[in-house]
A and B are shown apart, each in its own frame.
Chain A
């Protein structure tokens, strides 16, 4: 069973190495400051005990007032996983540094996040849309991408006949 690394413990270790990097640490994930993201990621990858050399995935979540970029990390030698997050607080023009220099696997996935969610990755070697065409209006996975009548978002607020 892949062990889930304790976020509090890892957060403390990151804090010792990269001061003022950790914004929030819970047992399930660590949120770091975007400015320190590259330093933290390099530390997580190279630290012998952590050895998080495999980036499972990159994705972003629209939290209505900010964007959360989520990295799932895996250590193949130690068989443990960690969820690393960072927050782009500017909802109009979200930007976080690119991690392609740390994990090559971020290359296509960051392009995907940029394409569909509109989070810019500073320092990405080739940040272009990947699925949609150049000139597509907006970024469709954002909650405010298309105003529906009455300012509604897609989906049910509640189930029919649900109490």
Chain B
């Protein structure tokens, strides 16, 4: 006798911790298996793109903090790079190095959150997240001593950075960078061979490399599928072409590979930081840029390798004090494109792990 079941709908979210914010997955189930998935978003839509059209270029920098609120430094950097491209502003070398240092600290902080919450979703309850928070806390302290803010930093400015680092920054940063490899080794011993993570994420949510490229994914999602693509190498910005680091890639494209890529990127970020802190030149950190900024008419697209993928800003200027068009190419949003293909056929707990492995932040998905 065969059992017949009626398809039914399960709503995951919008208010559910596993959706990382206010994201809703409408899953059509056949028994325990997902047969269709629909993404519903927009609960956090704040119309940043429209708001930005009414403000000046400098006034728009704080908006970018609030996109991916776990990596504000990277967002500031991408936006300021776009304005600098539009205006043809050259940033002094010290400013570029400070930007790289902050962006890489931010990457570690972001991946700490991503790995910690991913482990939680797999069922490794709370310990990894708290361990990750310990290091993230120290990085946020560094941000606080530099610019006064921990999350919404508003640090990178057009033409450089808002403040040069205080004297106590270098000793603290050097000590942290010395300490981090040991910490990462601890995480690896805790998580790498962890039975719970292996069982829950190996061969779950597989994203083939062809689909990863066709669906425009970027960052650890693309690299987890085995595509060697990192904008820091492919289209170097700031001073990344002078720094030595590797790009980790996965082999199978499953959730575990994406997790491994993030874990290895922690090490690579530490490598970059060691070099950048060592090479940090003297001099001024930023050039004087008029407050009344009027870029010439034209357009510019600047992009960086943000912790979550390719973050780009497309600005169109008509020569007035505010942008005519302010478009954000946000990695979290576009990385969700292949989600349906990844979760169909899985169970709900596996779909939660898959969503966690993409690492979205709803501030950036909805904008």
Task: List residues of chain A with CB under 8 Å of any chain B CB.
Answer: 1-2, 53-57, 59, 61-62, 70, 72, 76, 79, 81, 83, 103-109, 112, 116, 129-133, 140-141, 153-159, 162
Contact = CB atoms under 8 A, between A and B. Distances in A.
B314 A159 contact: no
Contacts of B56: 156, 159
* Majority secondary structure of chain B interface residues (helix, strand, loop or mixed): loop
Q: Which of B234, B327, B329, B367 counts the most A-chain CB atoms under 10 A from its CB?
A: B327
Contacts of A55: 216
Given A53-B214, A56-B216, A103-B216, A72 B314 contact: yes
Contacts of B338: 104
B247 to A, nearest CB: 13
A83 B213 contact: no
B49 A141 contact: yes
A76 B229 contact: yes
A57 B329 contact: yes
A107 to B, nearest CB: 6
B54 A53 contact: no
A38 to B, nearest CB: 15
B16 interface: no
B314 A157 contact: no
B153 to A, nearest CB: 25
B324 interface: yes
B314 A155 contact: no
Contacts of A133: 42
Contacts of A116: 49-50
B214 A104 contact: yes
Contact of A57 (B53, B312, B325): B312
A54 B329 CA distance: 14
Contacts of B41: 130-131
B213 A54 contact: yes
B219 to A, nearest CB: 13
A108 B333 contact: yes
Nearest to A156: B321
Contacts of A132: 42, 45
Nearest to B216: A105
A158 B320 CA distance: 7
Interface in B324-339: 324-325, 327, 329, 333-334, 336-338
B47 A105 contact: no
Contacts of B63: none
19 contacts: A1-B236, A53-B214, A76-B213, A104-B214, A104-B216, A104-B338, A105-B214, A105-B334, A106-B216, A108-B334, A108-B337, A129-B42, A132-B45, A140-B47, A154-B322, A155-B55, A155-B320, A156-B56, A159-B294
